[in-house]
């Protein structure tokens, strides 16, 4: 169990390295949590600092998700080794959940982070890349139809356990538990977006067929 606890902790600490704040400090720009929506994620980075800044943020946040599930579970840590009693699939899901929690509640940045969507995409890519397709399709369709990025992310998260449950993808029992966890967690992290949707003041992106004002 030492391996499970240590690798989950390492995943959490890795998740705590926020791309938005790291890139912001390297470029000497204002803390992303003090501008725009106040969220240290890719969407707010794009709105407030432009495409290049947002691209670097996404690369870091997605990359740490990939590392947490594709590298850490199989890493042979000196003095710890590989515990034969620890199920590899459950260990991978624990690392995936931990890296997302680290992004949302980062130790290094006062437990004020992003909403975890980009890190989730990275973790999912490391778990089983084909799972990205239904999630990204739902995300894109909802945004295309409604113009709401937050709603698209919530619906994309909710689509994963449905897809895993009906499609019977590999790693189904641990993956199903993880996907249900994420669907609930992403709805919680986007509770502000949900409130703004009901209030009618949620930010809406311009759809391709809409003319610029």
pLDDT tens series, the chain, 213 aa = 788 889 999 999 999 988 878 887 777 776 667 776 666 667 767 777 778 878 888 899 999 999 999 999 988 888 777 777 888 889 999 999 999 999 999 998 788 888 888 899 999 999 989 889 999 999 999 999 998 988 999 999 999 999 888 875 555 788 889 999 889 999 998 998 899 999 988 888 766 556 554
DSSP state, 203?
Answer: -
Question: Last residue of a domain, which of 65, 98, 127?
Answer: 127
The reply to whether 115 and 151 lie within a common domain is no
CB 183 within 8 A of CB 161: yes
Q: Residues 28, 98: one domain?
A: yes
3-state secondary structure of 77: coil
Of the candidates 108, 127, 146, which is a domain's last residue? 127
- The total domain count for the chain is 2
Q: Do 171 and 67 share a domain, yes or no?
A: no
Which domain range does residue 170 map to? 129-213
**pLDDT tens-digit map of 8-45:** 999 999 999 888 788 877 777 766 677 766 666 677 67
Q: Do residues 149 and 116 share a domain? A: no
Same domain, 152 and 191: yes
54 lies in the same domain as 108:
yes
Nearest Cα to 164, choosing from 153, 151, 178?
Answer: 178
Which of 110, 127, 144 is the last residue before a domain boundary? 127
Q: 19-27 and 51-70 are packed helices; what angle lies between their axes, rounded to 10 degrees?
A: 130
């Amino acid at each position: 169990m030492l391996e499970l606890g240590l690798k989950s902790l390492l995943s959490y600490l890795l998740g705590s390295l926020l791309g938005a704040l790291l890139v912001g400090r390297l470029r000497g720009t204002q803390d992303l949590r003090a501008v725009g929506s106040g969220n240290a994620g890719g969407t707010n980075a794009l709105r407030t600092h432009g495409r290049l800044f947002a691209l670097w943020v996404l690369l870091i946040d997605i990359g740490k998700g990939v590392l947490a599930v594709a590298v850490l579970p199989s890493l042979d840590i000196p003095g710890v080794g590989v515990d034969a009693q620890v199920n590899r699939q459950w260990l991978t899901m624990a690392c995936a959940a931990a890296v997302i929690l680290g992004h949302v509640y980062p130790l290094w940045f006062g437990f004020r982070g992003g909403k975890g969507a980009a890190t989730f995409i990275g973790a999912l890519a490391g778990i089983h890349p084909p799972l990205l397709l239904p999630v990204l399709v739902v995300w894109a369709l909802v945004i295309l139809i409604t113009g709401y990025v937050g709603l698209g992310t919530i619906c994309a998260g909710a689509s994963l356990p449905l897809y895993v449950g009906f499609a019977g993808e590999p790693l189904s029992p641990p993956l199903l538990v993880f996907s249900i966890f994420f669907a609930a967690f992403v709805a919680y992290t986007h509770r502000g977006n949900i409130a703004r949707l009901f209030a009618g003041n949620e930010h809406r992106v311009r759809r391709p067929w809409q003319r610029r004002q």
